[in-house]
């Protein structure tokens, strides 16, 4: 949409027209026998006044600059580039770069999850003959992307980083709960705390007395609903009932703590799928050939700062020249 | 003579050169010189001055005195010759067909030729330049130096200002003693004017007054460009327009003006030569110098 502003460029004809229109002068040649001719009104002639051409140029530049600022042009300035997903193995990256012949290419570190989308959005920044190499643990996109530039994607699956989850257990049956959390596999690692803290993400409340009013957590597993009246008429789903309270989200089930491994696995799986993002699947290596799909119009405002400076300078210059002309 | 066109005037500012060419075309016998050479009756010796003819140098005296002397003869010509040049701004009117030629240059050439002829004949001649409301007066004298002086004055004249008023002309034209020939070159766009009155007055005082009325081809035929606006160089205010539709009226006005002027000249016994500055100057000069059917008729 921004590039539609370029259609406003003919507005530059206005200062040119004004500078032409304003200047009139009377020109008369001497003629000795003019007395035999009828008198007439002095004719106004439109002539170009070259004395003001500097001012006119400045005004045209000012308008062009303003339109460019609005249109926010993207200049192709990137050459061959190696896009490295953040957190990639440096030795592996070097080996891949050497193998693909991208020794002299610029490095561009990007977050792994957004790398392909970012490249697609900023594709007009690359010169037409540029090639790209994307390295790292790039998640597989839902559909096959298309790029204007040839792009080689080489991936190396990174072992999932274990994420610590702080859990507070307040229960007479704490041993059962602990056993259940200890059986959890996958990237989530449960740390059972004795005292509530800012990092506490799950509170297991298995006691009839009410929790302190200041205690907050994103999720509560309530085995004894005596202190939680909001769970009385809560909707049920997946074998348990849930409700939202000022303390956080509440889950409850009469069958807690889970009695068998299947029930425990189901509860943990539900918890992980609802509260934690799924692990990305690393895309397979792929070579994207250049497609003819037009690059998406994405304005990044890279030139806006410079254009704004130029705009200010030209405006000041225009004012000065106008003032000087009037004097 | 036809070889000397007015384009020559446009090409050079050297009046000497132009005179030589124009007069060479005129040949001998235009004027009936009363004297041959420099007179018959010896009058006096005079120191040689640059420009004197070598044949007039007395060689015997040179051998005796080791100095150059020129024999001056007693002249029986008492005719003084007056050149009147109108150098008002309207005389700057250029020829629309020959670039670089204007009325003033043409008038300058005609008067310079007359001066050269007078000098050859041994007549005294003087110059009156009317320019910028003033009268520049050069007293009459004889000889080659006077010719150079007059040519220099002619060359220095610039077309500017208006004609002088009657009082200035009256005090300026004060050569009334001897019978004289008056050659006046002007465009006579102002008529009657203080100049025409002064010339008529001179004619009434039995001087032989000859007028040359200079015009351009474009003025005579109304051949001006229709595009630009025009202004009168001598009168402020007002812009004038020319076009094909106005040509008829222009020619009628002009005819009326010059008809009245010609009639006034005829009534005042002033011979008038109508000259277009695109004409060859020799032809005009021949007409101008032709002995008039009336008046003193000394030439």
- Please report, for residues A107, A116, B37, B126, the alpha-carbon distance to residue A110 in angstroms, rounded to integers and kept in the order given: 10, 9, 114, 103
CB contact under 8 A, B238 and A39: yes
Backbone phi and psi for residue A171, each to the nearest 5 degrees, phi listed first: -155, 150
List chain A residues with CB under 8 Å of B232: 30-32, 34-35
Spatial contact of B8 and B21, defined as CB atoms under 8 Å apart: yes
Identify the pLDDT of residue B298.
Answer: 36
List chain A residues with CB under 8 Å of B96: none
**Distance in angstroms (rounded) separating the CA atoms of residues A275 and A190:** 14
Q: Is A162 exposed, middle or buried (0-12, 13-18, 19+ CB in 10 A)?
A: exposed
Q: Which of A112-121, B25-34, B181-190 has the lowest mean pLDDT?
A: B25-34
CB contact under 8 A, B187 and A27: no
List chain A residues with CB under 8 Å of B238: 39
List chain B residues with CB under 8 Å of A27: 228-229
> Would you place residue B3 in the very low, low, confident or very high pLDDT band (cuts 50, 70, 90)?
very low
**Distance in angstroms (rounded) separating the CA atoms of residues B117 and A281:** 119
Backbone phi and psi for residue A158, each to the nearest 5 degrees, phi listed first: -100, 135
Residue A40 has its nearest CB partner, among B89, B219, B229, at B229
> Would you place residue B292 in the very low, low, confident or very high pLDDT band (cuts 50, 70, 90)?
low
Spatial contact of B109 and B18, defined as CB atoms under 8 Å apart: yes
CB contact under 8 A, A35 and B93: no
Which CATH number is correct for B7-32+77-289, 3.40.50.720, 3.40.50.410, 3.40.630.40, 3.60.21.10?
A: 3.40.50.410
The reply to whether omega before A9 is within 30° of 0 (cis) is no
CA distance A43 to chain B (A): 7
Question: CB within 8 A of A155, min separation 6: which ones?
Answer: A135, A136, A137, A138, A282, A283, A284, A285
Identify the pLDDT of residue A230.
Answer: 80
CB contact under 8 A, A30 and B219: no
Cβ pairs bridging A and B (under 8 Å)? 82
Residue B240 has its nearest CB partner, among A26, A27, A31, at A31
CA distance A26 to chain B (A): 9
Strand order, beta sheet including B272-276: B134-141, B124-131, B80-86, B180-186, B208-215, B272-276
Q: Where are the domains of chain B?
A: 7-32+77-289, 41-74
**Distance in angstroms (rounded) separating the CA atoms of residues A80 and A107:** 9
Identify the pLDDT of residue A51.
Answer: 61
Identify the pLDDT of residue B261.
Answer: 93
pLDDT in tens, A96-112: 889 888 888 888 888 88
Q: Is the model's pLDDT at A311 over the cut of 90?
A: yes
pLDDT in tens, A218-243: 888 887 777 777 877 878 787 788 88
pLDDT in tens, B15-36: 888 888 888 777 554 444 444 4
**Distance in angstroms (rounded) separating the CA atoms of residues B183 and B197:** 15
**Distance in angstroms (rounded) separating the CA atoms of residues B287 and B213:** 12
Which pTM was predicted?
A: 0.51
Q: Return the residue matching tokens 């002829």.
A: B117
Q: Is the model's pLDDT at A72 over the cut of 60?
A: yes
pLDDT in tens, B276-291: 999 988 889 988 988 7
Q: Is B94 left (phi over 0), alpha (psi -120 to 50) or beta?
A: beta
Give the whole-number percent of chain B exceeding pLDDT 70.
Answer: 87
pLDDT in tens, A253-284: 877 777 788 878 888 888 878 877 777 788 88
Identify the pLDDT of residue B19.
Answer: 85
CB contact under 8 A, B229 and A43: yes
CA distance A33 to chain B (A): 7
Q: Is the model's pLDDT at B179 over the cut of 60?
A: yes
pLDDT in tens, B84-132: 999 999 999 999 888 889 999 999 999 999 999 888 877 889 999 999 8
Q: Is the model's pLDDT at A318 over the cut of 80?
A: yes
pLDDT in tens, A13-62: 888 887 776 555 567 788 888 888 888 776 666 666 666 788 889 999 99
Identify the pLDDT of residue A252.
Answer: 83
Chain B positions touching chain A (beta carbons under 8 Å): 89-93, 103, 187, 189, 219, 224, 228-235, 238-242, 246, 249-250, 253-254, 257
What sign has the CA pseudo-torsion B189, B190, B195, B196? Answer: positive
For an interface test with A, give the residue of B163, B229, B244, B245 to mutate (most A CBs within 10 A).
B229
CA dihedral angle for residue A69, residue A73, residue A77, residue A81, rounded to 10 degrees: 120
Residue A32 has its nearest CB partner, among B187, B242, B246, at B187
For an interface test with B, give the residue of A29, A32, A47 to mutate (most B CBs within 10 A).
A32
CA distance A25 to chain B (A): 12
């Amino acid at each position: 949409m921004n590039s539609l502003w370029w259609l406003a460029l003919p507005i530059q004809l206005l200062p040119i027209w004004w500078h032409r229109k304003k200047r009139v002068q009377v020109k008369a040649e001497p003629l000795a026998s003019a007395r035999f001719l009828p008198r007439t009104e002095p004719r106004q002639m439109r002539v170009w006044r070259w004395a003001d051409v500097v001012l006119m140029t400045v005004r045209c530049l000012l308008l062009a600059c303003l339109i460019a600022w609005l249109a926010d042009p993207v200049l192709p300035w990137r050459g061959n580039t190696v896009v490295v997903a953040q957190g990639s193995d440096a030795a592996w990256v070097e080996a891949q770069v050497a193998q693909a012949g991208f020794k002299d290419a610029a490095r561009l570190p990007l977050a792994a999850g957004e790398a392909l989308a970012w490249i697609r959005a900023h594709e007009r920044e690359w010169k037409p003959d540029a090639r790209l190499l994307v390295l790292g643990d790039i998640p597989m996109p839902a559909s096959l992307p298309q790029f204007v530039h040839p792009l080689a994607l080489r991936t190396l699956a990174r072992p999932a980083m274990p994420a610590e989850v702080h859990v507070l257990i307040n229960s007479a049956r704490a041993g059962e709960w602990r056993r259940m959390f200890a059986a959890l596999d996958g990237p989530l690692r449960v740390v059972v705390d004795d005292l509530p803290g800012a990092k506490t993400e799950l509170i297991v409340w298995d006691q009839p007395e009410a929790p302190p009013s200041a205690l907050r957590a994103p999720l509560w597993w309530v085995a004894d609903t005596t202190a939680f009246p909001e769970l009385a008429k809560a909707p049920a789903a997946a074998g348990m009932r849930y409700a939202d309270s000022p303390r956080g989200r509440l889950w409850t089930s009469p069958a807690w703590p889970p009695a068998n491994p299947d029930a425990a696995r189901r509860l943990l799986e539900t918890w992980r799928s609802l509260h934690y993002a799924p692990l990305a699947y690393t895309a397979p290596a792929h070579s994207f050939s250049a497609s003819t799909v037009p690059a998406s119009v994405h304005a990044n405002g890279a030139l806006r700062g410079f254009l704004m400076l130029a705009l200010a300078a030209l405006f000041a210059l225009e004012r000065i020249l106008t003032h000087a002309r009037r004097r | 003579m036809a070889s000397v066109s007015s384009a020559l005037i446009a090409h050079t500012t050297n009046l000497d050169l132009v005179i030589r060419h124009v007069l060479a075309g005129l040949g001998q016998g235009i004027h009936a010189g009363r004297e041959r050479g420099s007179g018959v009756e010896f009058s006096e010796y005079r120191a040689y001055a640059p420009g004197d003819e070598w044949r007039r140098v007395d060689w015997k005296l040179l051998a005796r005195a080791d100095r150059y002397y020129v024999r001056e003869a007693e002249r029986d010509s008492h005719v003084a010759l007056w050149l009147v040049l109108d150098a008002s701004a309207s005389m700057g009117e250029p020829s629309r067909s020959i670039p670089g030629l204007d009325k003033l240059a043409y008038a300058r050439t005609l008067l310079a030729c007359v001066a050269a002829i007078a000098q050859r004949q041994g007549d005294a001649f003087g110059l009156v330049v009317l320019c910028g409301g003033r009268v520049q007066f050069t007293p009459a004298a004889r000889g080659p130096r006077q010719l150079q002086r007059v040519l220099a004055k002619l060359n220095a004249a610039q077309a500017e200002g208006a004609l002088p008023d009657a009082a200035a002309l009256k005090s300026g034209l004060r050569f009334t003693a001897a019978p004289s020939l008056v050659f006046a070159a002007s465009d006579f766009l102002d008529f009657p004017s203080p100049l025409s009155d002064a010339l008529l007055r001179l004619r009434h005082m039995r001087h032989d007054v000859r007028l040359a009325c200079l015009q351009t081809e474009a003025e005579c035929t109304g051949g001006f460009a229709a595009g630009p606006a025009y202004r009168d160089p001598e009168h402020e205010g007002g812009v004038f327009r020319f076009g094909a539709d106005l040509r008829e009226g222009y020619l009628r006005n002009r005819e009326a003006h010059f008809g009245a002027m010609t009639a006034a000249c005829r009534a005042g016994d002033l011979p008038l030569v109508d000259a277009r500055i695109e004409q060859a100057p020799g032809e005009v000069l021949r007409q101008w110098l032709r002995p008039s059917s009336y008046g003193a008729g000394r030439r």
